[in-house]
Amino acid sequence: MRDTELLAIDVDAELDTLVARYRGASGLAIEVLNLLGKQADGLVDSLPRPVRDRLEGATEVALKQAMKAANGSRRLVGSGQKGWLHTAIATTMGAAGGAGGVPTALAELPVTTALLLRGIQDVAEEYEFDPASENVQFDCIQVFAAAGPMAHDDGADLGFLGARMALSSGGLQKLTAWVAPRLAAVLGQKLAAQAVPVLGAATGAATNYAFVKYYREIAHVHFGLRKLAIDADVAHNELVALFLDKMTPEIAAPLD
């Protein structure tokens, strides 16, 4: 029976689907940047220096709090929440956070991070992984190491797919510390976008919507590859290599 199941899986087609998900993940955020008439790099520079100085530390704390909050929410309201619900809540939070500029946007950051992480956990569960498992918690945090929805990513920054750290000796804490600077740079773009005068609330809602959609899509790629490795009985590292080959400009032309 197992051999029949393996033969039924078209690995190449499954990889094409995951590549399409990855490449389409950033579309909405690019529209947000077009609305602002700014580039993402310039957005971060527009933040006040004290905010930029504390952003990395605040992000690491937010990640640690988010893991506790996301796990707690699963016990309170159950698992398998619909993606639209997280999107709606995060969009509302973004609007509220953006309405007051940088101070409220910064205060909203831990809540949005928890919502993003909860959405990632739900995707993991869709692929039959247990979000309560330490290994899966590790993978959920690892999703945040992706380039971010406001990056003009050509597939070069896909280290989140293959990076592994030992879970012994504080592995999850080490991973959080490793991810925090990357995520801080991404969230700095979001904060700056929300702080734009007049457009703050609308931009906050749009960016949060984009972030939820983006990280859910990245989670589908991450856990989709892990599930495919199990179902097709192919080494995960081999699948990642095949995925990266498909992401090269010479092989994977931009999608229509």
**Residue predicted with more confidence, 152 or 98:** 152
Strand spans (E) along 15-114: none
Residue 244 lies in a domain: no
pLDDT tens-place string over residues 173-184:
888 888 888 888
**Residue predicted with more confidence, 224 or 116:** 224
Residue 255 lies in a domain: no
Helices 171-194 and 200-231, packing angle to 10 deg: 150
Q: What pLDDT does 67 receive?
A: 83
Q: Is the pLDDT of residue 76 over 50?
A: no
Count the domains in the chain: 1
Q: What pLDDT does 97 receive?
A: 45
Q: What pLDDT does 255 receive?
A: 39
The pTM is what? 0.79
Question: Residue 39, Cβ neighbours under 10 Å: how many?
Answer: 13
**CA atoms of 19 and 240, how far apart (whole Å):** 11
Residue 21 · residue 214 · CB < 8 Å: no
Query: Which of 101, 92, 105 shows the shortest CA–CA distance to 55?
Result: 105
Residue 246 lies in a domain: no
Q: Is the pLDDT of residue 43 over 50?
A: yes
**CA atoms of 157 and 182, how far apart (whole Å):** 11
Domain that holds residue 63: 28-216
Phi–psi pair at 75, nearest 5 degrees: -75, -35
Q: Classify residue 3 as exposed, middle or buried by CB count within 10 Å of its CB (0-12, 13-18, 19+).
A: exposed
Residue 226 lies in a domain: no
pLDDT > 90: what percent of the chain? 20
Candidate from 8-17, 38-47, 133-142, 230-239 with smallest mean pLDDT: 38-47
Q: For residue 65, name the pLDDT band (cuts at 50, 70, 90).
A: confident
Residue 20 lies in a domain: no
Residue 143 lies in a domain: yes
Q: Is the pLDDT of residue 228 over 90?
A: yes
Residue 120 lies in a domain: yes
Residue 129 lies in a domain: yes
**CA atoms of 76 and 55, how far apart (whole Å):** 30
Q: What pLDDT does 147 receive?
A: 81
